[in-house]
A and B are shown apart, each in its own frame.
Chain A
Amino acid sequence: MAKIVAGIGTSHVPSIGVAYDQGRQEEPDWKPLFDGYGPVKEWLKEIQPDIAIVVYNDHGCDFFFDKYPTFAVGAAETYPVGDEGWGRRPLPDFPGDADFSWHLCNSLVYDEFDITVCQEMEVEHGFMVPMHLCWDHDDGWPVQVVPVAVNVIQHPLPTAARCWKLGQAIRRAAESYGKDRKVVILGTGGMSHQLNGARFGYLNSQFDNDFLDKIESDPAALTAMTHQQIMEEAGAEAVELIMWLTMRGAIEGPVRQVHRHYYAPMTTGMGLIALEAAS
């Protein structure tokens, strides 16, 4: 079987990618953010997962509003770096595990999650920023990936509870896989931010820190939140945080916190939490 050994919740702010590509990690205003990921990088080197499932949203790279899937799962051997309008970033393409992906897709659909299966999928900042924050990749990526895209930008969005249940279904799928694999799941996006209207730049660090507490100790409380509540308290684009619940649903039960970090320099609360299954 494949075992989900750890979960990571992390922001995927695009400006982090730009700063990374420009080598600005040591600049005073950026250093706290990049340093915050150091312990997670070291921890991932120790646990050496085979597969990373990355739950993210496409911001207009491979999907547009002509047909925007609620849930889409990658089932490819390779995921190319996409062009979001700024040109291709200097990162290696991402290796997939199509056998595992197809098992996941079969299991999810028969478990009544009617996902879109993607045999070609270009990935973008929502997926890539968490990857390069968590893993070095000088010799290529040390882990195979499964992109899981969630619609969190064009309402109607899936509910928070639905995202949690998707995580539970991902866990069931992993546990029924025929090969032994060590899996880590990343829930990405957020934290508080708003990018539209005169409320642009709205932040709520208190909400963010409360969310970080609850994602660890009381995720059920978060699954009861409506999109309206999240948007009112944390900004319209903060609704991305429902994707962290997919991560937490996949490691439901007692967890041990490995690391936690928070920094809010500009317009988005940049949060990080790393959780290990306690069993």
Chain B
Amino acid sequence: MAEQVDKSRPIANTKVFTDEETRRGYRLNKFAMSLCKPQNRDAFKENEEAFLAASDLTEVEKQLIRDRDWRAIMDEYGGNIYMIMKIGAVIGQGLYQIGAHQRGQTYEQFLDTRNASGAR
């Protein structure tokens, strides 16, 4: 049987969302998933610190959110983009802002790399 995910061939600048990643990121991703409920979005917007305090995130994970450190959340702490986008939405940063941060670029620099950036 061919290997579906070949760990001997890591893809540069890429996190494949495998068992290691989903285990590492479980708390952060679950926190993000809770924002599908409007009352949680409201609570987050009303008082971010209180909302973080009531979560089961570690202090390190809370700081990642305070810092909007999307790159670290995705690269080092097991964030799943589809979940983490929900945190961005509450904060007012969309997928492309999160993506620009992961690339180490400003939002404007990132948009300049696209074919038709009006389609966003």
Contact = CB atoms under 8 A, between A and B. Distances in A.
The majority secondary structure among interface residues of chain A is loop
Interface stretch (B29-37, B46-54, B60-68): B29-37
Given A60-B82, A85-B41, A85-B90, 14 more contacts: A15-B95, A60-B83, A65-B22, A65-B29, A87-B38, A153-B82, A154-B17, A156-B5, A197-B75, A197-B102, A198-B104, A201-B113, A228-B3, A265-B117
B19 A196 contact: no
Interface stretch (A24-32, A101-109, A110-118, A166-174): A24-32
A231 B11 contact: yes
15 contacts: A15-B120, A30-B119, A60-B29, A60-B83, A65-B29, A84-B36, A156-B18, A196-B14, A197-B13, A197-B15, A197-B75, A226-B3, A227-B5, A266-B117, A267-B96
Nearest to A63: B33
A85 B85 contact: yes
Nearest to B111: A266
A228 B82 contact: no
The 3 closest A-B pairs by CB, nearest first: A29-B118, A85-B86, A265-B116
Interface in B84-120: 85-86, 89-90, 95-96, 99-100, 102-104, 110, 113-120
Interface string A126-157: 00000000000000000000000000011111
Given A29-B117, A66-B30, A157 B103 contact: no
Given A200-B103, A201-B110, A265-B115, A60 B26 contact: no
B86 to A, nearest CB: 3
B114 A267 contact: yes
Interface of A: 14-15, 19, 27-30, 33, 59-61, 64-66, 82-87, 153-157, 159, 194-201, 226-228, 231-232, 236-237, 264-267
Given A236-B14, A236-B15, A64 B30 contact: yes
B6 interface: yes
Contact of A155 (B16, B85, B100, B114): B16
A195 B95 contact: yes
A199 B14 contact: yes
A195 B99 contact: yes
A85 B86 CA distance: 5
A199 B4 contact: no
Given A153-B80, A200-B103, A201-B110, A60 B16 contact: no
A8 to B, nearest CB: 21
A218 B116 CA distance: 31
Contact of B74 (A14, A59, A66, A197): A197
Nearest to B79: A196
A85 B44 CA distance: 12
Contact of A61 (B5, B36, B80, B116): B36
A74 B13 CA distance: 37
- Residue of A27, A65, A236 contacting most chain B CB atoms (<10 Å): A65
